[in-house]
Amino acid sequence: MKSQVQAAEGALSAVDGARRRGRGSVSNPTGRFEPLARSLMDDGWESVADLPPFKTDVVVEKPKSIISRNSSPDLEFDRSINPYRGCEHGCIYCFARPTHAYMGLSPGLDFETRLFVKEGAETLLERELSAPNYQPRMIAIGTNTDPYQPIERERKIMRRLLHVLAEARHPVGIVTKSALVLRDLDLLAPMAAQGLAKVALSITTLDPKLARQMEPRASTPAKRLDALRTLVQAGVPAMVMTAPMIPALNDHEMEQILEQAAEAGATEAGYILLRLPLELRDLFREWLLEHYPGKLRHILSLIQSTRNGKDYDARFGIRHTGEGAYAELMAKRFHVACQRLGLNRKRRSLRVDLFKAPIREGAQMSLF
């Protein structure tokens, strides 16, 4: 453990606090596919002090397809859409951070500040839904990066996707940390009335200070609970995701989060144990060293006790919940709390029998 903590202290180069104000990551390490590693250092000319704060930079991406497919046996969906690459919410624990390395960028501050917008996503979706061999099943949105992150207020990619899904009467499941989801109640409520939509609010902590540190630009915990309550009142099935649970940091809040979510009207719940793939393991260590140095050794020890002595175990069926005594205790606590609160008594399935393929512009209409 000593060598690991020492590695955390020296592996990454922290960016000045003023430059990363309102961001989650402490540093901006080079992506793993880059031929050269870059590190920030003062050469004596005080040039580092003159660097500007990190600002959100947006790049328009033109993908060839929009629906991603997976065959993972431990996921409840086989297709998903991610309107954006990168996420301005800045959650330090986000397991999607390492994907920014595929773009030649850093999983650190680049992930939060250099975003890719999939313009024309709704047109691609129409095309893919209208394919002759398309078979409808629930499309999950928000499983990688949040579709309702701040940039959505301006770009409205998610809203345009919902318009297409609503017209096609196609089922959709949404995961978000943002109260911005309420903007689209005019679309979600009618879809939910037909059994076509449900929303999961991810609530990691009820402590506003901890939330600000872990997920600096996401909606506050109170606003997420309010959003959950409003969704339920509008007839939209809502569940709560206590994810991720971080040993010795926020896992003690699990029962209280579930209680408040149930009180707000949630009928389903889920949880995920912290995942630390690839570069995320060093980014999270560095974040702990800055914010909770006294807990660093204990937290890492507990995480490794659930991952067969490693920082992460990517095996299907294990990656989300871990294994071992601590992981089993967490699973038992979750199960007991859900039983007591009446959560997960019935899992809501979305309908696929109402689907009507979109008629693309210029396409020939059916005679029948």
Is it true that the peptide bond before 277 is cis, omega within 30 degrees of 0?
no
Q: How far apart are CA 66 and CA 337, in angstroms?
A: 38
Q: How far apart are CA 226 and CA 205, in angstroms?
A: 14
**∠94-96-101 over CA atoms, to 5°?**
125
293: amino acid identity, one letter = P
* pLDDT for residue 4: 46
CATH architecture classification, 2-35+53-341: Alpha-Beta Horseshoe (3.80)
* pLDDT for residue 366: 52
Q: Give Dmax (Cα) for the chain.
A: 77
Do residues 117 and 107 lie in contact, with contact meaning Cβ atoms separated by under 8 Å?
no
What is the 3-class SS of 118-165, one letter each residue? ECCHHHHHHHHHCCCCCCCCCEEECCCCCCCCCCHHHHCHHHHHHHHH
| Mean pLDDT of successive 10-residue stretches along the chain, which has 368 residues | 42 69 88 73 55 85 94 91 96 96 94 96 97 96 96 97 98 98 98 98 97 97 98 97 96 98 97 95 96 96 96 93 96 98 93 92 54
* pLDDT for residue 10: 42
Task: Tell me the DSSP string of 221-265.
Answer: HHHHHHHHHHHHHTT--EEEEEEEE-TTTTGGGHHHHHHHHHHHT
Task: Provide the b/e sequence for 276-302 (b: ≥16 CB within 10 Å).
Answer: bbbbbbbbbbbbbbeebeeebeebbeb
pLDDT in tens, 101-133: 999 999 999 999 999 999 999 999 999 999 999
* pLDDT for residue 64: 93
- Say if strands 68-69 and 84-85 run parallel, antiparallel, or are unpaired: unpaired
* pLDDT for residue 265: 97
State pTM to two decimals: 0.89
The rounded mean pLDDT for the chain is 91
Phi, psi torsion values for 81, nearest 5 degrees: -130, 135
- Where along the chain do its domains lie? 2-35+53-341
